[in-house]
Amino acid sequence: MTTTRQAVPTRPRLPLDRATVRRARSLARKAGRPIVRLAQDHTTVSVERATLRMSGLGGADADGIPWSNRLLDAVRGDVGLEHGVCLPAYDALVRGEAADLAELAQKAAVGSVRFRLPEDRDRTRAASRARKEVGAGLRRIDARRRERERLITRHGDAPSTPWIYLIVATGDIHEDIPQAQAAARAGADVIAVIRSTGQSLLDYVPEGATREGYAGTYATQENFRLMRAALDESSRELGRYVRLTNYASGLCMPEIATLAGLERLDMMLNDSMYGILFRDINPLRTFIDQRFSRQVHARAGIIINTGEDNYLTTADAVDAAHTVTVSQLLNEYFAKEAGLEDWQLGLGHAFEIDPDLPDSFRLELAHALLARELFPDAPLKWMPPTRHMTGDIFRGYLLDAFFNLAGALTGQGILLVGMMTEAVVTPWLSDRDLALQNVRYVLNAAGRLGEDLHPAPDGFIAERARTVLDEAVDLLTAITDREQHPGGLLDAIADGTFGLMRRPADKGRGLDGVVRKAEGYLNPATTLLEEGR
């Protein structure tokens, strides 16, 4: 399949030691491999429900509980999930218990069908039908990817990088739509619909169009469909394709990734550790769900955005800079292992150094250039200041201008628009318009200034970047040291290494949804996704 890649502007180059860079990546692989093996040996309730959704099972009962949850719970109650949900579910269909998965789920919800683990010929028939129906779902995702490419060709793409990324968050999808379209007319290239507070802790995906989210709008398939259709209208009007972002994280990460592929979203927030650290979701559940979700994103041509910026809201942006680099390297490894390409890696970092610190802007440039140098082909996602926004909107507007300048100078690929009213109110449309004016002014004025700036090899910026990289190598070395961390990365997370959050592997939400695979486990989605790479 063809893909759309961002052209990364010419930027200042940092004289990093290439052997140190190679060692950092090697250590990230060493730290990440046990996590991949863990994901390969386990499944979760959300992975299995995502497979049912890929097979075409949608809708919910009168209480709003999705039929995918009802069917999975019934299968788990009868035979467990060690062999996956598909064998028992499709065996029931082959036996004539129902005409399709929707009818089967309805019967299962009232206890009028029982499930078994089929053997011999029955197993072969069930596995064949499951592969056929899951494969049809993947072909629908493939078709939506091709549709995106056709629309980009027809309407044109954003004229340059960075892409301007702007948030909408009213709680009401029907209010989000006109705000998103207004933002696109004002110059936004990517519209992010913030998810309702607490949705990541729901172990089901709400159904239908929603109007009552808190500090955001629920991520549902219908909400995805409505916003995608609205932005397609804007794309036709503006003569450029407007991208849509949402969140594939939390307890339903694989399901939301699947719905995003089916409804042609373009970017999804999908970080390896965000849910662990900031939502207390069990580490095992998160890493297993994440691998499947990234396989779906890879197939759908979706760009992921990672959440390293969040570390700097709880830890000092200077002292903890190396933890951001470590997380970026781990995210890169996990993403590529799942099939994502460089152009799909919106690795996160942020402009969060205390502005009262001497040389704060030089430090920000050092950190931003380090990320750009380590990941030259990735569309890095550059996040604006939040922690040190005081409510003084004039100071905030100035800080955002410095943030925009740093992004322009260092060739960031995705620039989230900073709001001068951060920490004061939810932004008005007028606030967004002023913020976009700030972005446009800086990008127009700075132009390709990065071509003319070259940090001195032994100067402040280059030395700071090397220091952060060396500290990142030291931390990765410690994570992979069996004496310091016998459990590797899981022990490091439990120790509070990232964002100062301590998250043990045997604690956290969603652990009861983790299942070790038995011999003979079957999931056609996983098989087809890996075969299609």
Told to judge if 517 belongs to the known catalytic residues of this protein, a careful annotator would answer no
Q: Provide mean pLDDT across the span 488-498.
A: 91
Q: When comparing pLDDT for 278 and 124, which is higher?
A: 124
Band of pLDDT at residue 514, cut at 50, 70 and 90: very high
Told to judge if 274 belongs to the known catalytic residues of this protein, a careful annotator would answer yes
56 part of a folded domain: no
Here the tokens at position 238 are 């503006």
Band of pLDDT at residue 2, cut at 50, 70 and 90: very low
271 part of a folded domain: yes
Interatomic CA distance for residues 195 and 342, integer angstroms: 26
pLDDT tens digits, one per residue of 259-296: 999 999 999 999 878 889 889 999 999 999 999 999 99
138 part of a folded domain: no
385 part of a folded domain: yes
H/E element holding 63?
A: none
pLDDT reading at 7 higher than 70? no
Selecting among 204, 274, 333, 521, the annotated active-site residue is 274
What percent of the chain shows pLDDT beyond 70?
Answer: 98
Would you state the pLDDT for residue 9? 53
pLDDT reading at 410 higher than 80? yes
For the chain, give the mean pLDDT.
93
Here the tokens at position 465 are 């970047």
Selecting among 266, 289, 309, 431, the annotated active-site residue is 309
Would you state the pLDDT for residue 487? 86
Q: What is the CATH number of the domain that holds 355?
A: 3.20.20.440
Interatomic CA distance for residues 361 and 355, integer angstroms: 8
Told to judge if 63 belongs to the known catalytic residues of this protein, a careful annotator would answer no
pLDDT reading at 1 higher than 50? no
Handedness of CA 225, 227, 230, 235 (dihedral sign): negative
Here the tokens at position 197 are 């507070």
Band of pLDDT at residue 311, cut at 50, 70 and 90: confident
Which DSSP string corresponds to 350-407? E--S-TTSTTHHHHHHHHHHHHHHHSTTS-PEEE---TT--S-HHHHHHHHHHHHHHH
For the chain, the domain total comes to 1
Band of pLDDT at residue 533, cut at 50, 70 and 90: low
pLDDT tens digits, one per residue of 194-222: 999 899 999 999 999 999 998 899 999 99
pLDDT reading at 56 higher than 90? yes
Selecting among 90, 241, 311, 381, the annotated active-site residue is 381
Would you state the pLDDT for residue 486? 76
Residue 30: closest CA among 234, 329, 305, 237: 329
Phi-psi region of 132 (alpha: psi -120 to 50; beta: other; left: phi over 0): alpha
pLDDT tens digits, one per residue of 220-237: 999 999 999 999 999 999
463 part of a folded domain: no
Q: Provide mean pLDDT across the span 505-526.
A: 96
Would you state the pLDDT for residue 169? 85
Q: Provide mean pLDDT across the span 116-145.
A: 97
Would you state the pLDDT for residue 447? 80
Q: Which domain holds residue 194?
A: 157-447
Band of pLDDT at residue 5, cut at 50, 70 and 90: very low
What's the predicted TM-score (pTM) here? Answer: 0.94
